[in-house]
Chains A and B, each alone.
Chain A
Amino acid sequence: MTQSHQIKRGVSLYSFQEEFFLRKMTLEDCIAACARLGAKGIETIGEQMMPGFPHLSDAFYDQWHGWMARYGTTPTCHDMFLDTKKFKGRLMTDDEMLASVIRDLKHASRLGCTVIRVIVNTPPHIMELAAPYAEQYNVRLGLEIHAPFHFRHEWIQKHYEVMERTGSKFLGFVPDMGVYERRFPRVRSERTIRNGANRDIVQFICDSYERGVDLDAVVEEVKRMGGGPLELGMVDDVKRIFFDDPRRLLQFMPRIFHIHAKFYEMVDDTTEYSIPYNEVIPVLIEGGYSGYLSSEYEGNRHIQDVYEVDSLEQVRRQQAMFKSLLGEV
């Protein structure tokens, strides 16, 4: 018996990037597909599936709300970017950065989203400047925590200090579940082998990560085994992933606005190869999380060289796993 909870299921349309890129699915097709899975929360990236962003017409927003009504879906989160390097040779000024965030707040508000996923390179002092505008537009700003960043990272701690100091209820986090990788994603190790890496060395690296072996020692062993740039490059990839303690979420629960349910490979309807969702979701339930679990499929880029990508089937499987872990079946 699953404890009662208020967690809702959704999908980031990022999941369907392969099909959208290849013009196999339209924005409306993506929304309809989520609705069929009972994943009613729709997260979008304006810069990905809304051509013309940020100059979208009234007609576009009308059509968007028409789709939400037709498919019974709810806008959840808008994923924003901050192009601090827009101008070659100089970084954006504070005024330019703030204007960019306000632009995204207006867009999110018009979509009906209640959260923005703030890209991690956004500086803490810009979040502080943006907080009153977030309140004005009634859209919360959630800084994405995405590997190699994690809750204890100095940069994230600086953001947390701003949140605590200002006390703003409009500043918080969007954790990406990629910070709970117990195993190196198989789709990535297999791709490394297809690129020419030695299978035995790749297996050694994967095993070492799972056993928690010091990676500097792994580098030496990989060299001894005859590994070259591909195998050593894979050790660098492994250094950028980790398994954080899911219970750390409890400490930040009031500031968790939305969850990016990152995944690379659903092997069946119950298991993601590298991320143990059965250890994370109970913590979210225990902490009283009441937002969305938003599927974010990112396996396509690792398999598209040899396989036909089927993002819809991958999302279907993850949503089936969520239903089970959330006690819906």
Chain B
Amino acid sequence: MFDKYIICEDGFQNVSEGGQVVGFQLMARLPYYRGLGISMVEDLGVKIDSDAVAREAIRITLHGKTYTLDEMEVEYDDRWEFGEPGVVTVLQPGGLKPGAHTVEVSPQLRVSYLPFILKDRDVKTLTLAA
């Protein structure tokens, strides 16, 4: 459900802080038909050109608030809204080289009425501007 829409087409870019490239960003949405309390987002895996990004290197920003994946698991009030593009930041000094990259995002959601963890995956080729 909505798996092809997980990764947004726009928003793929390197991010700088104090003149240094500290990582890169992309935009992603949850593949589910309602918004979900953030504590129920168990994971959001990211792969770049087939290499898995370490969970600790991932930050997610939702309506201006930034979380690590561990912090998300204990956030009991805020929600990732339906169709809301979240900014996924990967801390990786130097960022990515300009050009095409294969991006994979795989959320895992703990939906209470399902007897299993909802796992979905989207893979897209995105181009990072020079």
Contacts and interface: CB of A to CB of B under 8 A. Distances in A.
A88 B33 CA distance: 21
18 contacts: A17-B33, A21-B29, A21-B82, A45-B34, A48-B33, A51-B81, A51-B84, A53-B35, A81-B34, A83-B37, A85-B110, A86-B40, A86-B76, A119-B112, A121-B113, A304-B4, A304-B5, A305-B4
Interface string B19-45: 000000000010001111101101000
A180 B83 CA distance: 31
A24 B73 CA distance: 31
Contacts of A301: 1-2
A57 to B, nearest CB: 15
B59 to A, nearest CB: 20
Contact of A48 (B1, B5, B35, B110): B35
A87 B33 contact: no
B40 A85 contact: yes
Contacts of A304: 2, 4-5
A86 B113 contact: no
Interface of A: 14, 17, 20-23, 45, 47-49, 51-53, 81-88, 119-121, 301, 304-305
Given A47-B34, A48-B34, A84-B112, A21 B76 contact: no
B8 to A, nearest CB: 11
A52 B29 CA distance: 17
Given A81-B112, A86-B112, A305-B4, 7 more contacts: A21-B5, A22-B5, A83-B37, A83-B40, A85-B112, A86-B40, A301-B1
Given A45-B34, A88-B42, A23 B83 contact: yes
B39 A87 contact: yes
Nearest to A88: B73
Nearest to A45: B34
Nearest to A87: B39
Interface in B83-124: 83-84, 110-113
Contacts of A49: 82
A17 B82 CA distance: 9
Nearest to B115: A121
Nearest to B35: A47
A314 to B, nearest CB: 16
Contacts of B113: 81-82, 119-121
A83 B73 contact: no
Contact of A20 (B79, B83, B112): B83
Contacts of B112: 81-86, 119, 121
A300 to B, nearest CB: 9
A115 B110 CA distance: 27
Contacts of B73: 88
A305 B5 CA distance: 10
Contacts of B111: 85
B67 to A, nearest CB: 15
A87 to B, nearest CB: 7
Contacts of A51: 35, 81-82, 84
B42 A21 contact: no
Contact of A88 (B1, B2, B35, B110): B110
A207 to B, nearest CB: 27
